[in-house]
Amino acid sequence: MSSFVKHGNHKNSTMRQFLTVITGIFICVGLSAQDNTESFALDTIIKIEGKVMPVEMTNVTTSYVRFKVPGSNELFTLPRKEIHKIIYKNGRIEEYNAMAVVTIDENAWQAVWLTEDPKDVVSLYKQGEVSAQADPNDRGSKASKKNAIIRLQKKAASMKGSVVLVTRKQFTGAYGEIQGYYIEGLVYGSEPPEEEKFDKDTMKK
């Protein structure tokens, strides 16, 4: 009988150790998931010409700011006089300079970037919807995709947008042949649309 009791105690002790290890693993996994979630949050720099830059802020002085860009450990420096405002990942906003009056030229579309992550446009203003399509290109399907994206960027720039949240994209045409490309999304900018500004000004009067 006594040997049976000792065996049972040993079994219970082993079970307790096992449960302790499992609990520790779940805690570590939970903390790791929390750290990963926090690491995806980014600060946002909005330049005076409207360019939007998702970054990780490291330092702010009276004359410049320093930051890292996603996927790089290199430090970048930007004069504060070129910054309209910084929107921090905790929701805090610091404004430095007024937005510049920018004339949209033929190269403005190159500053428009595309994203599929809604978190990248949380602090921006929706300007409208946009879509673009490119027919099959003799140079291949990749060329069709590139042409469609450029057309989308140009349309977004004409709407004073700086970011396009892509909601749909697909190759078009028969499988196995050179295909066209279709893409659509929502245009966002750093300032409210003109009609929204007008409504606010009217209400103030």
Q: How far is residue 97 from each of residues 107, 128, 146, 188, measured CA to CA in Å?
A: 24, 26, 35, 20
Tell which wins on pLDDT, 71 or 97.
97
Q: Which of these ranges, 73-77, 86-90, 135-139, has the smallest mean pLDDT?
A: 135-139
> Could you tell me which of 6, 4, 24 has the C-alpha nearest to residue 14?
6
Residue 102 confidence (pLDDT): 52
- Give the single-character DSSP code of 172: E
Evaluate if residue 47 carries a pLDDT over 90: no
Is 129 strand, coil or helix? strand
Which of 154, 149, 186, 155 has its CA nearest to residue 171? 149
Which CATH fold would you assign to the domain 108-196?
Translation Initiation Factor IF3 (3.30.110)
In CATH terms, the fold of domain 41-95 is: SH3 type barrels. (2.30.30)
Q: Would you state the pLDDT for residue 29?
A: 46
* pLDDT at site 17: 62
pLDDT digits (tens, 9 = 90+) for 97-156: 987 765 555 567 888 889 999 988 888 899 999 999 998 876 788 889 999 999 999 999
Cβ-based neighbours of 140, under 8 Å, separated by 6 or more: 178
Alpha carbons 55 and 71: distance in angstroms, whole number: 10
pLDDT in tens, 23-45: 555 454 444 444 443 445 789 99
| pTM for this entry | 0.53
Please compute the mean of the pLDDT values over residues 67-94 and round it to a whole number. 90
pLDDT tops 50 at residue 95? yes
More confident: 154 or 4: 154
- Mean pLDDT over the full length of the chain: 78
Report the alpha-carbon distance of residue 76 to residue 56 in Å, rounded.
Answer: 10
- CA 23, 29, 32, 36 dihedral sign is negative
